[in-house]
Structure 1
Amino acid sequence: MSPDKLDTYRSKRDAARTPEPVPEPGPLPTGHNDTFVIQEHHARRLHWDLRLERDGVLVSWAIPKCLPLDRKTNHLAVHTEDHPLEYATFEGEIAQGEYGGGLMLIWDRGTYETEKWTDREVKFVLHGSRSSGRYVLFPTDGKNWMIHRMDPPPENGLPPAAELRPMAAEERKRLPRDQEAYGFEFDLGGTRALAILGEGKVRFIGADGTPLTPESTPGLDRLDGLGKAAWGLPAVLDGRIADIGGSTVYMISDVLRLNTGDLLGRSYRDRRRTLDHLSLRDRHWQPTPWFPGDGKAVLQVAKDQGLPAVLAKRLDSPYLPGVRSSAWLRVPLNPGG
């Protein structure tokens, strides 16, 4: 009797403890070998899982830096266990302590075409909304494979990052009543700025779309290294350039794009969790702390520290560039603050 392709998958999961699909042993479903999914996996380290339908299962690779954008760079792809076809639609929270514990979000899904499939080489063409083009996977050492883009990258169809503008909050005199629906942040003052990361460099754009320079923004030159953060992936961040203890620090509050993927439609909660997993932490840049549902405590700390305001952001709110929205609220702590 031939082994079940999902035996390894089942052996690593307890159906009573995980929301993941865990089908019973039996005949595998018959498909068209043309479905793919890429899932953003907030496990111990943020990574992306590429899964290709093949003979009743999803053959899977974990890719720490997501798909390469051009032909110049290969990315590591770690071959993992086959997953059931039902996993192509799975999003959810895998409990900490369980295998793969953490948030799983669909990054992209669609169809693909197989050009070649052997033990030494898998060539395919993706047709997704975020991911498209010809790729090849090839093994290098045991479970370690590499993934290479074979054709020039297409236009991603997104407006230039420099045309994005920060989302703004409406002012209120007090915290919202339904605090459990919000995440709370400290308003640390300083200069609101979007950071555009790419090719190892960083550009800063002010709230009005004006490029920021060291001449216009003291201490900006200390933030040059941010361009090499986020594992070198292209990204657009939102935050404030503030003076923290006499040092210039870019306090990052949001991530709008990552590796050409537009995250604007995601909820604030999910964007913040993605940001936290990017491990953007240095003495000159770090994520702004956020506290789901804990507005009163945040307000008291802000008062004790003499901060200008507290921000309340709905956990389910998308990012609306250039819009002043009631989904985000700013509560000043002193007149004119």
Structure 2
Amino acid sequence: MDLPLIAPMLATPGTLPPAGQDMRWAYETKQDGQRAVVYLPGDGSVLLRARSGEDITAAYPELRALGGILGTTAAVLDGEVLVLDEQGRGDFQLLQSRMGLARSPGKAARRADQAPAHLVLFDVMLLRDDLTGQRYARRRKALESLALDGPFWSTPAALVGHGEQALRATRENGLEGLVRKRLDSVYEPGVRSRSWVKIRNMRTADVIVGGWVPGKGRLSGLPGAVLVGQRDAGRLRYVGSVGTGWSEAERLELARLLRAAETGRCPFDSLPRAAEARWVLPRLVGEVRYSTRTRAGLLRQPSWLRLRPDLAPEDSAADLP
């Protein structure tokens, strides 16, 4: 059977709904992986396409067994490819060692032994017939009826209502957050829809500014990003580059403070990979928001919140792994 290509539906950033609307939504754990649309034509084969449409099947040889899992029943499924850490959580750094290997089957097979992939399934767009026009609740019931749980794939439960409790549980377990999906919504291929809303668990940290990178274009002469660190056993450990979160006035004030603190010496214990970096004395403390940390301790998706003139640089040693 020739299956139609279906672009994945995308979620918009947001928050929990008003309490009175809670039961109109299903809540799924937000996964930190590579989006994959799974095509099962019913002839024993399987095709995985990334969000870009690229064929990534060969990058994940352990998922080939999915081809025969539904027999001759044709299906198109939506999911996310993960590599799990010791706690069973998706680890994007581990996954990066698996991505981009579709044209290197030998290397993909070796990496599959070292860091096996796991496919989390959360929607079905075709099951014999096109289901994209059906409500989420009906599609979800169809997906769960397939009982797709195996050594390298699973169908985690979706919770109807109780969003606040679900979000708290993800936060307590160190997970990225939730995706809430309206029960009566249809599947909108390729659309970033308000019927799906992603809710991230964001953390905050106090950091020391140790350098900056000049901006481009209209930001010429101003900081495009600041390089930040935290104290660790008396050293200033680099934890990332922050390039968003300022108003125009805040960026101008930050530029003034950075120029006053200029130095020719990198203050971090190891030299960050940052072209055109300019160093400053490590005396400015700021507060940033971020989602998670990498295994190396770098902040993921950091955004500037505010300067902290009330804090001394020695106060920035917080939650380093």
TM-score normalised by L of structure 2: 0.51
Q: Paired residue for 2:127?
A: 258
For structure 2, the 5+ residue unaligned runs are 89-114, 203-288, 292-321
TM-aligned CA deviation for residue 247 of structure 1: 4.0
- The one-letter amino acid paired with 1:165 is A
SS state at 2:150 partner: coil
Query: Which runs of structure 2 are paired with 1:109-258 in the superposition (5 Å)?
Result: 160-161=3-4, 163-172=5-14, 174-177=15-18, 178-198=21-41, 199-214=43-58, 217=59, 220-244=60-84, 245=88, 247-258=116-127
Q: Paired residue for 2:248?
A: none
Residues 262 and 288 of structure 1, relative CA distance in 2, 3 Å threshold? same
CA distance in 2, matches of 1:336, 1:267: 34
316, 319, 324: which one aligns with 2:184: 316
Contact 2:44 2:71 in 1 (8 A): no
- The one-letter amino acid paired with 2:171 is K
Q: Paired residue for 2:164?
A: 296
- The one-letter amino acid paired with 2:63 is L
Q: Paired residue for 1:27?
A: none
Contact 1:238 1:255 in 2 (8 A): yes
TM-aligned CA deviation for residue 188 of structure 1: 1.8
Query: Which runs of structure 2 are paired with 1:66-105 in the superposition (5 Å)?
Result: none
TM-aligned CA deviation for residue 297 of structure 1: 1.9
Contact 1:166 1:321 in 2 (8 A): yes
Deviations 1:140-184 (A, max 9, x none): xxxxxxxxxxxxxxx9xxxx53x3110001101x21111110000
TM-aligned CA deviation for residue 213 of structure 1: 3.9
Deviations 1:207-263 (A, max 9, x none): 11111143xx4xx1111111111243110000000123364211000000012x000
Higher relative helix content: 2
**Superposed CA RMSD:** 1.7
TM-aligned CA deviation for residue 201 of structure 1: 1.0
Q: Paired residue for 2:143?
A: 275
TM-aligned CA deviation for residue 298 of structure 1: 1.3
Q: What count of residue pairs does the alignment treat as equivalent?
A: 173
Deviations 1:89-137 (A, max 9, x none): xxxxxxxxxxxxxxxxxxxxxxxxxxxxxxxxxxxxxxxxxxxxxxxxx
TM-aligned CA deviation for residue 310 of structure 1: 0.6
Contact 2:37 2:78 in 1 (8 A): yes
CA distance in 1, matches of 2:57, 2:146: 25
CA distance in 1, matches of 2:78, 2:139: 11
SS state at 2:125 partner: strand
Identity %: 31
SS state at 1:306 partner: coil
Q: Which has the higher contact order (CA 8 A, sep 6+)?
A: 2
Residues 294 and 232 of structure 1, relative CA distance in 2, 3 Å threshold? farther
Deviations 1:255-281 (A, max 9, x none): 00012x000011111100100001111
CA distance in 1, matches of 2:8, 2:160: 21
Higher relative strand content: 1
SS state at 2:40 partner: strand
SS state at 1:313 partner: strand
SS state at 2:46 partner: strand
SS state at 1:271 partner: helix
For structure 1, the 5+ residue unaligned runs are 1-68, 70-154
Contact 1:230 1:279 in 2 (8 A): no
